[in-house]
A = this chain, B = another copy of it.
Amino acid sequence: MASSSRRRELDVAALVERARAGQPRAVAQLISLVEDASPQLREVAAALAPHAGTAQVIGLTGSPGVGKSTSTAALVSAYREAGHRVGVLAIDPSSPFSGGALLGDRIRMQVHATDPDVFIRSMATRGHLGGLSWAAPQALRVLDAVGFDVVLVETVGVGQSEVDVVSLADTTLVLVAPGMGDGIQAAKAGILEIADVFVVNKADRDGADRTARELKHMISLGRQELTGPSWRPPVVRTVADRGEGVKDVVEAIAEHRAWMVGNGELERRRQHRAQTEVEAIALQTLRERLADVAGSSALSALAGRVLAGELDPYAAADEVVRTLDTTP
């Protein structure tokens, strides 16, 4: 038993050093350590802390079929050409990285598979301790700290956990395709609030003009309700599989970033994100401490007193909370 747990014990400082030197295997090991909540998780987090906070995080979301994977691949190329190291977190059942997509998409990403300055990690939407909203920020923190200066987070835009993941981004792209009424519907249903840039992909198809027009109309309506710093999300057209319009997307992202830096919005977003992350970890810690008490004879004795009518369940819960260990 002891030897098997020893076997998994890794030299974290050396691992971080190798990852920062560009070894993909070291990056992958660090991500595995944090997303599986290994016993070394805290050690890793502490080792990463001084290096984190420099990456530009870009979220991509949209309904299945709008071309998220193709757009991600095209953006990776664009940022590589500009000399950036690029990380990709693909959280999407239909993503080529997580195994569900067409062969063409897979081949399209192959070009990056051998590039040491591109790191691609797929994350299943289930099976992580504490869910995706736990694992994704940890993985993002690794990519950030080991030196990827651009990180793309790709996710299908449905479900609360995916929205949570998008909230990790500095700039969020919402992709739609012509003739996909559901894209617009999704936008109406709340995606408008999270979009910093709209991308009409497959813009060579019929209906692209109309889709762009509808989006712009929607944006102008939405803006009337805004009270905070006001950014009008641009609508950019792309044909991602031919690389058309991708430079415009990169430009729109840069403009959004400049706007955020100028008025303090970037700091606000990052502050909010850090608070949310700390709060989520604290709640998880408390859950674990509570589970320790729940597994003990203390809870059993308290429940017995509730059954006997000596104690009400609230007074019993107060006892449980009082005995909870709040020291690290």
Q: Is the CB of A303 within 8 A of B274?
A: yes
Contacts of A124 in B (CB 8 A): none
User: In the complex the two chains form, is A286's CB within 8 Å of B45's CB?
Assistant: no
Q: CA of A51 to CA of B317 in the docked complex: distance in angstroms? A: 19
Tallying the copies of this chain within the complex gives: 2
A317–B275 touching, CB < 8 Å:
no
- For residue A284, which residues in chain B have a CB less than 8 angstroms away from its CB? 317
A108 in the interface (beta carbon within 8 A): no
Q: How far is the CA of A128 from the CA of B328 in the complex (A)?
A: 34
Query: What B residues does A281 contact at CB under 8 A?
Result: 313-314, 316-317
Nearest neighbor of A34 in chain B, beta-carbon distance:
B314
A290→B286 CA distance, assembly (Å):
9
Residues of B within 8 A of A52 (CB): 309
* A311 within 8 A of partner (CB): yes
Q: How far is the CB of A323 from chain B (nearest CB, A)?
A: 8
Q: Contact at A45–B313, with CB atoms within 8 Å?
A: yes
Q: Does A294 contact B (CB under 8 A)?
A: yes
Q: Give Cα distance in the complex from A2 to B106, angstroms.
A: 65
Complex CA distance for A3 and B186, rounded to whole angstroms: 45
Q: Mark A243-285, 1 if CB is under 8 A from B, else 0.
A: 0000000000000000000000000001100110111011111
Is the CB of A50 closer than 8 A to any CB of chain B? Answer: yes
Q: What CA separation (Å) do A57 and B311 show in the bound complex?
A: 20
Q: Given A312-B45, A312-B49, A328-B321 in contact, is the A290-B300 Cβ separation under 8 Å?
A: no
Is B53 a contact of A320 with CB atoms below 8 Å? no
Expressed in whole angstroms, the minimum distance between the Cβ of A308 and any Cβ of chain B is 8
Q: Is A318 an interface residue (CB 8 A)?
A: yes
Question: Which of B51, B274, B294 is close to A306, meaning CB atoms less than 8 Å apart?
Answer: B274
Q: A282–B53 contact, CB under 8 A? A: no
A278 touches B309 (CB 8 A): no
| Closest CB in chain B relative to A225 CB, distance in Å | 25
Chain B, Cβ-Cβ closest to A286: B286
Contact partner of A322 (CB less than 8 A), chosen from B293, B304, B327, is B327
- The minimal Cβ–Cβ distance linking A261 to chain B, given in whole angstroms, is 14
Distance (whole angstroms) from the CB of A267 to the closest CB of chain B: 8
Interface residue? A25 (CB, 8 A): no
**In this assembly, does A46 line the interface, its C-beta being within 8 Å of a C-beta of chain B?**
yes
Contact of A321 among B41, B285, B322 (CB under 8 A): B285
Check B42 against A278 for contact (C-beta < 8 Å).
no
Q: Is the CB of A300 within 8 A of B317?
A: no
Tell whether A315 is near chain B: CB-to-CB under 8 Å: yes
Nearest-neighbor residue (CB-CB) of A310 within chain B? B49
A218 within 8 A of B: no
Q: Is A73 an interface residue (CB 8 A)?
A: no
Interface residues in chain A, defined as those with a beta carbon under 8 Å from any beta carbon in chain B:
41-42, 45-46, 48-53, 137, 141, 270-271, 274-275, 277-279, 281-287, 289-290, 293-294, 299-300, 302-304, 306-318, 320-322, 324, 326-328
Please name the 5 residue pairs, one residue from A and one from B, whose CB atoms are nearest each other, closest first: A281-B317, A274-B303, A45-B312, A49-B312, A318-B328
